[in-house]
Amino acid sequence: MASLSSRDQPRSVSEGELKAANDAPHYDLIIRNGRLLNLSPAGPGEQSCDTRPALADIAIGDRRILAIGPNLSGNARRTIDAQGHLVSPPFVESHIHLDSALTAGEPRWNQSGTLFEGIEIWGDRKQSLTSADVKARALAALKLQASQGVLHVRSHVDVSEPKLVALKALLELREEVRPWMDLQLVAFPQDGLYGAPRNVELLEEALKLGTDVVGGIPHYEFTREDGVRSVHRLFELAEQYDCPLDFHCDEIDDPQSRFLEVVAACALRRGMGQRTTASHTTAFASYDNGYATKLMGLLRLAQLNFVANPLINITLQGRGDCYPKRRGITRVKELWHAGLNVSLGHDCIQDPWYGLGNGNPLDIVQMAIHCCHMTGQREIAACYAMVTHNGAQTLGISPAEYGLAVGKPANLVVLAGQTLRDLSCQRGLATAVISRGHCLAQTPLSITQWDDPPESITYPH
In order, the DSSP letters of 221-232 are SSSHHHHHHHHH
Pick the catalytic residue from 93, 117, 221, 251.
251
Decide: residue 274, CB within 10 A, 0-12 exposed, 13-18 middle, 19+ buried.
middle
Cα-based angle 227, 328, 260 (whole degrees, multiple of 5): 30
CB 76 within 8 A of CB 26: yes
In angstroms, how far is the first alpha carbon of the chain from the final one? 44
User: Which strands make up the sheet holding 305-308, listed edge to edge?
Assistant: 91-96, 150-158, 182-188, 213-216, 245-249, 276-280, 305-308, 341-344
CB 376 within 8 A of CB 31: no
The distance of closest approach from Cβ of residue 102 to Zn ion in the complex, given in angstroms and rounded to an integer, is: 16
In order, the DSSP letters of 261-309 are HHHHHHHHHTT-GGGEEEEE-GGGGTS-HHHHHHHHHHHHHHT-EEEE-
The piece of 339-347, 358-366, 385-393, 438-446 that touches Zn ion (CB under 5 A) is: 339-347
Active site includes 221?
no
Binding-residue pattern over the window 347 to 366 for Zn ion, x denoting contact by CB under 5 A: x-------------------
The distance of closest approach from Cβ of residue 76 to Zn ion in the complex, given in angstroms and rounded to an integer, is: 41
Q: Phi first, then psi: give them for residue 30, nearest 5 degrees.
A: -125, 130
- Of 298-337, binders to Zn ion (CB under 5 A) are none
The secondary structure of residue 79, as a DSSP letter, is: E
Residue 115 or 413: the one with the smaller Cβ distance to Zn ion is 115
Cα radius of gyration rounded to whole Å, the chain? 24
**What is the spatial distance between Cα 16 and Cα 360, in angstroms, rounded to a whole number?**
50
CB 136 within 8 A of CB 169: no
The distance of closest approach from Cβ of residue 309 to Zn ion in the complex, given in angstroms and rounded to an integer, is: 7
The distance of closest approach from Cβ of residue 300 to Zn ion in the complex, given in angstroms and rounded to an integer, is: 25
User: Could you give the 3-state DSSP secondary structure of residue 371?
Assistant: helix
In order, the DSSP letters of 377-411 are HHHHHHHHHHTTHHHHHHTT--GGGSSSSTTSB--
The distance of closest approach from Cβ of residue 98 to Zn ion in the complex, given in angstroms and rounded to an integer, is: 11
Residue 250 or 347: the one with the smaller Cβ distance to Zn ion is 347
Number of residues that bind Zn ion (CB under 5 A): 1
Residue closest to Zn ion, measured at CB: 347
The piece of 77-85, 340-348, 393-401, 424-432 that touches Zn ion (CB under 5 A) is: 340-348
The piece of 71-79, 200-208, 345-353, 369-377 that touches Zn ion (CB under 5 A) is: 345-353
The distance of closest approach from Cβ of residue 249 to Zn ion in the complex, given in angstroms and rounded to an integer, is: 10
CB 435 within 8 A of CB 151: yes
The piece of 223-231, 332-340, 342-350, 367-375 that touches Zn ion (CB under 5 A) is: 342-350
Residue 347 or 351: the one with the smaller Cβ distance to Zn ion is 347
Residue 93 or 347: the one with the smaller Cβ distance to Zn ion is 347
Residues 6+ apart with CB under 8 A from 407: 64, 65, 400
The piece of 126-134, 283-291, 324-332, 343-351 that touches Zn ion (CB under 5 A) is: 343-351
Residue 387 or 412: the one with the smaller Cβ distance to Zn ion is 387
The distance of closest approach from Cβ of residue 281 to Zn ion in the complex, given in angstroms and rounded to an integer, is: 12
**What is the spatial distance between Cα 324 and Cα 436, in angstroms, rounded to a whole number?**
49
Alpha-carbon distances of 415 from 66, 142, 155, rounded to whole Å: 21, 19, 24
The distance of closest approach from Cβ of residue 354 to Zn ion in the complex, given in angstroms and rounded to an integer, is: 10
- Are β-strands 55-61 and 26-36 bridged in parallel, bridged antiparallel, or unpaired? antiparallel
Residue 248 or 333: the one with the smaller Cβ distance to Zn ion is 248
CB 296 within 8 A of CB 290: no
The distance of closest approach from Cβ of residue 394 to Zn ion in the complex, given in angstroms and rounded to an integer, is: 14
Residue 148 or 282: the one with the smaller Cβ distance to Zn ion is 282
Residue 356 or 405: the one with the smaller Cβ distance to Zn ion is 356
- E strand or H helix that includes residue 364: helix 361-371
Residue 277 or 286: the one with the smaller Cβ distance to Zn ion is 277
Give contact residues for Zn ion (rule: CB under 5 A): 347
- Catalogue the active-site residues: 251
